[in-house]
């Protein structure tokens, strides 16, 4: 089966990578630095995101664990209660989700600190958040603007996954680890 002549996978790949490059050209590097220090200062990190953002947050939580940190995901059986010294890290790409607002309140009332990564900081800032990280990717809230060739919220979600990996690279530097150290924490139960 031959693809349609107008469908060019190579060209689409280049465009998608350029769209993601545009996100990271607009991110203030200081935001990553602030988040890295929040994470290092935390006793435990509890992550959350809705829908596909939740999948990206699960991947980030796994990488945080590979970096030697105690990280968890909301809804997992082994996730402890949030308390003083803990950090609740959520993704709210479109800016606001009632569920995230509720979880932010729970974390704050329990003495934890809160961080939200979002593409819509003006909307997210209305929630109880200590640190707001602006990741300017296309979400469902602004898909009509057409800032990416990627569908729906994929632009933001892919940027979130990469941002999480860049964060882990910075955390490894700050904790004087090598990439190889992560493999010592990789599961042997497969």
pLDDT, tens digit, 9 for 90 and up, residues 6-25: 777 888 889 888 888 988 99
Give me the mean pLDDT over the 137-166 stretch: 80
DSSP H/E element including 90: strand 87-91
- Sole residue written with tokens 């569920």: 99
Tens digit of each residue's pLDDT (9 = 90 or more) over 109-137: 999 999 999 999 988 889 999 999 999 98
State what percent of residues in the chain have pLDDT above 70.
93
d(CA 131, CA 117): 9
Count of all residues that appear for the chain in the document: 190
Q: Once rounded to an integer, what is the mean pLDDT over residues 23-48? A: 96
How far is CA 79 from each of CA 72, 85, 177, rounded to the nearest angstrom?
5, 15, 26
Residue 148 has pLDDT above 90, yes or no: no
**Rounded Cα gap, residues 93 and 147, in angstroms:** 14
31/36 Cα distance (integer angstroms): 9
Q: How far is CA 158 from CA 10, 55, 98, in A?
A: 18, 11, 23
pLDDT in tens, 42-56: 999 999 999 999 999
**Between vectors from CA 71 to CA 51 and to CA 185, what angle results, nearest 5°?**
115
**pLDDT mean over 62-82:** 97
C-beta of residue 114 within 8 angstroms of C-beta of residue 132: no
User: Rounded mean pLDDT of 67-88?
Assistant: 97
Residue 8: per-residue pLDDT: 78
- Domains assigned to the chain: 25-173 (3.40.50.10490)
DSSP assignment letter at 80: P
Alpha carbons 154 and 16: distance in angstroms, whole number? 10
- Confidence class for position 173, pLDDT limits 50, 70, 90: very high
């Amino acid at each position: 089966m031959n693809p349609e002549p107008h469908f060019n996978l190579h060209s689409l790949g280049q465009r998608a990578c350029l769209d993601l490059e545009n996100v990271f050209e607009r991110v203030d590097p200081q935001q990553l630095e602030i988040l890295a220090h929040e994470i290092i200062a935390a006793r435990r990190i509890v992550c959350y995101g809705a829908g596909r953002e939740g999948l990206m947050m699960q991947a980030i939580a796994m990488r945080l664990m590979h970096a030697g940190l105690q990280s968890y995901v909301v809804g997992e059986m082994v996730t402890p209660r949030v308390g003083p010294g803990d950090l609740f890290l959520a993704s709210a790409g479109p800016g606001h989700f009632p569920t995230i607002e509720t979880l932010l309140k729970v974390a704050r009332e329990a003495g934890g600190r809160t961080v939200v990564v979002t593409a819509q900081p003006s909307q997210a800032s209305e929630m109880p958040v200590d640190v707001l990280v602006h990741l300017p990717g296309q979400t469902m809230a602004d898909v009509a603007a057409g800032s990416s060739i990627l569908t729906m919220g994929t632009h933001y979600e892919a940027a979130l996954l990469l941002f999480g990996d860049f964060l882990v690279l910075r955390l490894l530097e700050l904790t004087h680890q090598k990439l190889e150290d992560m493999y010592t924490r990789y599961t042997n139960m497969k």
